[in-house]
Structure 1
Amino acid sequence: MLATLVLSLAALPVTIIIWSAITLNANISKARAIGLPILTRYITPTNPLWVAFGSGTVRFARRLGTATEHFDRFYLSGWDANKRCRVHAELGDAFILVAPGGFWIYVAELTAAWDVLKRPRDFDRNVEQLAVLNVYGKNLSTTEGHEWQKRRKVTAATFTERNNELVWQSSLLQSHDFYSQRTGSRSFTKPYPFEGQEEMKKRHASVQDPSDDSHQYRDSFSKILRGIILIAIFGGETLRNSSWMPNSWNQVGQAVHNFKRYVLSMIEEERKSVEKGESTRKDLVSALVRASLVQQNAGRDFTITEQDIISNTFVYGFAENDTTAITLAHAVVNLAANPATQEWIREEIRYYCKDDDFSKWPYTTWTRLKRCQAVVVGTNAVAQFLHLLTEIKWKHFDFATPSARRRNGPKPHVR
C-alpha cells in the first residue's frame, strides 16, 4: 500500500518532466523552421506556479550560489523588461523564446513592429495570457473582436478631452498631498488623502471609522494586486471561504469581495442620482452606469451589466496602478539623478504657475508646460512600461523580420 502511494507520488513529477521534454523538443523543431535565433527556457514563462514562486526561487538560488548565468538572467518574472536591448544586442533584432508551453517571437525592429501593428487580423491580442485579469469576469483586456469593440465604445466615453480638467484638478490635489505626506492613493470617483506608512499602522491598530470607503478601496485593491496569481489559480470565493488556506490568502479573497461591494455601492449611488436627475459625476463607474441605462431603454442586444461594470472598473484600475506607478518611479529616479533637469522644469512651473494656491491653476496651464511634457514623453521613451503582445491567429501568413521572411509557419506569440 505504502509502496503504491510512493510510486504514485513519484510518477507525477516524472510525468511532468517527460511531457515538458517532449513538448519543448516539438516547439524547438517548429521554431527552427522560422529561421531566427532561439533562446530556450525549460519552464514556460506563463506557468501560474512559476509566475507566483519563480522569482523567489531564482533569488534563493542566487543566495545559495547555485544559479547559472542563464537561469539568473532569463527565469525572473519580467526578465525582458530588465534586460531590454541587451538580449537583442546578442541575438539580433528578432529572436524566439522557446518553452514547453509555446514559443514567443521578440521583435525590436521598427519595420517589423509596424508590420504587426498594421495587420490586426493576423496579429490579434493574446487574450489567453491576459486571462489573469478575469477576477470579476471578462473585460476590455480579455475580449476581442466584436465584443471588444462594444466594450471599448462604452468605456471610452469617460476618457475624453471634456474630462481632462477633472484629471488635472485631481492630479494637482494628489501631488499636493504627495508632497505633504509622501505616499497616497486614488479612487475612481474622488481623490482621497494620502496616507504614510506610520499613519497606516496607526489606522490598522485603531477601531475608529472602520467604514471609511477610501481605506476599503485602497486596502482591497492593494491586496488584490499582490494576490492576483492566487486569485487566478483558486478564485476569490475559494480563497475567502476555505478554512484550510493561510490567513493571508483568506484576506486576498475577502479583498475581492470588498472591492466588488465597494463598486456595487457606487453603482447604486449613481443609479439613484440618475433617477433624480442629479447625476453630475464624470468618473468611469458613472459613465458605465449611464451607458447601461441608455442601452436598457433602447432595448439593445448588448447591455452593460453590473458584472461588466465591476470587471472593467477593476481592469482600468489595475492598468492605472501599473502604468502610473512605473512611469512616476522612473521619472522621479531620473530627475533625482539629474538636478539640472529639475531646475529646468522648475523654471517653467514657476513661470506659468505663479500663484501659490494650486487650486487656482487652470487646466489650460498644462498645454503650456512643454518641459514637463518632455520629461514624461522622454521617460516613456526610455523606460517603456508596456510591451506589444499579440498572437498570430492564422496559420498561413507572411511576416517580414530584419533577418528572415517566413511563410506558412506555426502559431507563435509575437512580442
Structure 2
Amino acid sequence: MAVLLVLSAVAAIVLYHLVSSYRSLARNIALAKSSGLRVVVMPWNVHGVLWLATNPIWLPILGKLPASCKGLWFDLLDPEWAYRLGYKPFAELGTDVFMVACPSRISAFVADAEVVTQITTRRNDFPKPLHMYSRLNIYGRNLVATEGSEWRMHRKLTAPSFGEKNNELVFLESLHHAQCLMRLWTGPGGREEKTINDPATDTMRFALYVISRAGFGVRVAWPHEEEEEKQAEEQITGADSIFGSKVPPGHKMNYREALGSLLHNIMWTQMGPPEYLTKSPFKIHRTVGTAVIEWGKYMDELFEGKKAEIASGHSTEGMDLFGTLIRGSGILDEKTTDLQKSDILGNAFIIMLAGHETTANVIHFSLLYLAMNWASQKRLHEDIDKNLGGKPIKDWSYDEDFPRLFSGMPAAVMNETLRLLQPIINIPKSTAPGRPQEFSMGGQQYTLPGGTEVSLCAAIHRNPKYWPAPTNYKSTDGLADTDRFRPERWLIEEKPTEDFEDINYDDEDLRGPSGEDTSAQLFKPVKGSYIPFSDGYRSCIGRRFAQVEVLAVFAVIFSQYSVELAVDEFASDAEVEKMPAGGEQRKEIWKKAADRADHLLTKTMGSIITLQLRGDTIPIRFVRRGRERFLFE
C-alpha cells in the first residue's frame, strides 16, 4: 500500500509538472507570436544550467531520432549553435530576427545591424540580464555586473584608466612579453624549431602578464626569465611589484598560480564560498577556493600599497589602474561616496578577467588561421616589413608604428579572426518584465514582449547582407565566403559604408577609449554588423587596449617568424625532411593536420565565459622566415 501511495504521489507530481509546462509553453508561444516575428518552439531552455551541464549526453541520443522528427528546433538544442551554424538558421527562417519559445522563457536572436544599433543605443530599454553576471561579483560589484545609476558610477570610476595616453605603456609592455613568448617557443637563440603542443596556455600567460603590468604595475616573470636572473632584473626595472615562481611570505600560491587557477576555473567559484571550497573532497575545488583567497590577498596588498603611495604624493605614469580607481573613488580623501573598497577590487578583477582571456583567444586563433592560410600569412609578412622598415624592436614606438599596423594587414587579420570567432557568441540584453519594446526592421515595426531575453548574435558576422563575397567568387570546397578566413576582405578598395560616429555619451565622464573599432583605411562594415566588442554605451571599455596588445605581438612574431601547423601526429621531422619540398607527400600530411585543425575550430569549441577549444589542442611550430616546410604553389 505504501509503495502504491508513493508511486501515485510521484505520478501526480509528474502530471502536474507536465500540465504546468504545457500551459507555460502555450502562453509563451502566444506571447512570442505577438511580436510579429517568426517563432521557433523548443521543448526546454537550452541555456539553463541543467541543459548546459548535460547536453553532451543527450544530444547524441536525440540525434538518433528519425529525420522527420527533427527540424530547426533540433539544431538550436546546441547551446553553441550560433558559432557552429552561423547564419544558417536565420536564412532558413527568412528573417534576421526570430523568437524562441520554451516553457520557462521567451528569447530573441538578432542578426540585423539596424536592430542591433537600436538595442545598443537604447540602454535603458534593453538592459543587461544581470542574473547572468552574478558569478562575477567575487570580490565586489563591478562595471560588468551592474545597470542603471550603479553602472554609471562604475563606468565613471573605470573609464579614466583606458584613455589614449595609456596605450603607449600597453604597446611597450606587449613588445616585451611578446619577445619573452618567442624565447619560450623558439629557445634563447630564437632558432629552435620545436612543436608547441598547447599554444593556448602560453597566449593566456602572455595576456595575463601584460594586463598585470600595464594595469597594476605588477611584472610577472616568465620561468625562463627567472633562469636568466641578471637579464630579468634589468628588464623588470620600473615595475612596482615583481612576482615570479616563489611564494611570498603569508601566501600559499605564487601570483601567477593564484591568478591562473582562478581565471581558468572560474565556473567552480559558483559551488560555494571559497572557505567551503577549500574543504571539498575534490582537488579542483580546493585549488580554486585557495586561488580565490590568495588572489584577493594579492589585490589587497597592491591596493594598500598604492593607496599609501598616493597619500604620500607619489605618482606613476601609464595606466596605473589601481591609482586611477583609488583617486576617482574619493576613498583616499574620505569624501562622501557610495563607492567602497570592494568596488575597486571588484572592478580590478573584472578588468583582469576580461582583459586577458579575450585577447589571448584572438592571438591564439589568429596563429592557427595563419598557419592554415599561407597566402594571408605571406601578405602579413610583407605588410609588416613595409610598415616597420626593418627597424629593431627597441626602436618601435606607439605613436609612429601602431597607426600603421592598425591600418594594414595586421589589423585585417585581427578583425577577421574576431569576425569568425567572436569571444562572446551571444551578447545578452533583455526587455524588463511588463515593459515591451518596439523596434523597426526593414521599414516594419515589431514588438519584443516584456521579459524577453535578447541575444545579439555572432551570426551577424556571417550575414551575407553585410559581408559581400568578391566579384565572381566561386567556392571550390562548398564553403561560403562568409564562413571562410579571408582577412583580405578588409583591404578592399572600397569607400567606407558610412562615416564613423563615436558614441554620443550623455555624460563625458562615461567615455572610454574613443576611436573606431576598425581603421578608417580598412573596409568599413555597416554600423551594428560588426560587434566583437559589442556596441553602443556598453561596448568594451578595453577595446583599444586589446587592439594595441594584439597588433604588437603580431609585429614581433611575423617580423621574424612564420607559423606552421605541426604534423608530428602524421610524420616525424626526419620523414618530412626526406620528402621533396612542395611535393605531394608534404601536401598530404599538411592537409591531414589542416583538416584536423579545421574540424576542431569549426565544430568542437565551447564557451564557459568565452569561446575556446575545450579538451583539444592544435599544435603549431615557429620557424625563421625562409625556412618554411609547407609551401605549395
TM-score by length of 1: 0.82
Aligned equivalents of 1:67, 1:360: Cα separation in 2: 64
CA spacing shift, 1:13–1:331, aligned 2, 3 Å: farther
Deviation at 1:85, TM superposition (A): 0.8
Q: Does 1:345 align with 2:380?
A: yes
Mapped to 1, the partners of 2:85 and 2:357 lie a distance apart of 19
Residues 198-227 of structure 1, C-alpha deviations (whole Å, 9 max, x = no match): x9xxxxxxxx723399x7343333433444
Deviation larger for 379-388 or 89-98 = 379-388
2:110 paired residue number: 107
Q: State the 1:98 CA deviation.
A: 2.2
C-alpha displacement of 1:144: 0.9
Residue aligning to 1:202: none
Match of 2:40 in 1: 39
User: CA 1:217/1:95 → structure 2, altered by over 3 Å: closer, same or farther?
Assistant: farther
1:397–1:79 distance in 2 versus 1, CA, 3 Å: closer
Question: What is the one-letter code of the residue matched to 1:376?
Answer: M
2:86 counterpart residue number: 84
Residue of structure 2 in register with 1:204 after alignment: none
- Secondary structure of the residue aligned to 1:39 is strand
Aligned partners of 2:268 and 2:223: how far apart in 1? 27
User: Bigger CA drift: 5-14 or 398-407?
Assistant: 5-14
Please state how far the C-alpha of 1:111 moved relative to its aligned partner. Answer: 1.9
| Unmatched segments (≥5 aa) in structure 1 | 200-207
Deviates more, 1:332-341 or 1:347-356: 347-356
Give the whole-Å Cα distance in 1 for the aligned partners of 2:295 and 2:2: 47
Secondary structure in 2 aligned to 1:116? helix
Q: What are the Cα deviations for residues 158-184 of structure 1, in whole angstroms up to 9, with x where unaligned? A: 101111001101111222122222423
CA distance in 2, matches of 1:333, 1:385: 16
More helix by share: 1
Equivalent pair of 2:55/2:78 in contact (CA under 8 Å): yes
* Mapped partners of 1:238, 1:129: distance in 2: 23
Is 1:216–1:259's contact at 8 Å kept on the other side of the alignment?
no
What is the CA deviation profile of residues 102-153 of structure 1, one whole-angstrom value per residue up to 9, with x for unaligned ones?
A: 1111111222222223322221222222223222232111111111111111
Change (3 A) 1:275 1:407: closer
Q: Does the Cα contact within 8 Å between 1:24 and 1:99 map onto a contact in 2?
A: yes
Q: What's the offset of the Cα at 1:289?
A: 2.4
Q: Residues 38, 166 of structure 1: CA spacing in aligned structure 2 closer, same or farther, 3 A cutoff?
A: same
| Change in CA separation of 1:279 and 1:17 when aligned onto 2, cut-off 3 Å | farther
Identity of aligned residues (%): 24
Contact 1:238 1:253 in 2 (8 A): yes
Match of 2:258 in 1: 220
> Which whole-Å CA distance do the structure 2 matches of 1:160 and 1:50 have between them?
41
Q: Is the 8 A contact 2:157 2:325 kept in 1?
A: yes
Change over 3 Å in CA distance of 1:130–1:81 after alignment to 2: farther
Cα-to-partner distance string for 1:45-98 (whole Å, 9 max, x where unaligned): 4423333x2354357648x96798668733334332222211111122111122
Structure-2 separation of matches of 1:233 and 1:40: 32
Once residues 283 and 2 of structure 1 are traced to their aligned partners in structure 2, the CA distance between those partners, rounded to angstroms, is 69
Verify the 8 A CA contact 2:311 2:332 in the aligned structure 1.
no
Residue 440 of structure 2 aligns with which residue? 400
Match of 2:163 among 157, 160, 174: 160
Aligned to 2:220: 192
Query: What is the aligned length?
Result: 399
How many angstroms apart in 2 are the aligned matches of 1:89 and 1:298?
58
Q: What does 1:167-186 correspond to in 2, within 5 Å?
A: 167-182=170-185, 183=202, 184-185=205-206, 186=208
Aligned mates of 2:16, 2:267 — CA distance in 1: 25
> Are the equivalent residues in 2 in contact too, given 1:48–1:229 (CA < 8 A)?
no
Residues 120-269 of structure 1: pairs in structure 2 closer than 5 A? 120-182=123-185, 183=202, 184-185=205-206, 186-187=208-209, 188=212, 189=216, 190-194=218-222, 209-211=246-248, 216-241=254-279, 243=280, 245-269=281-305
Is 1:97 the counterpart of 2:105 in the alignment? no
Paired residue type of 1:128? H
CA contact (8 A) 1:170 1:191 kept: no
Mapped contact 1:158–1:287 kept (Cα < 8 A): yes
Match of 1:389 in 2: 428
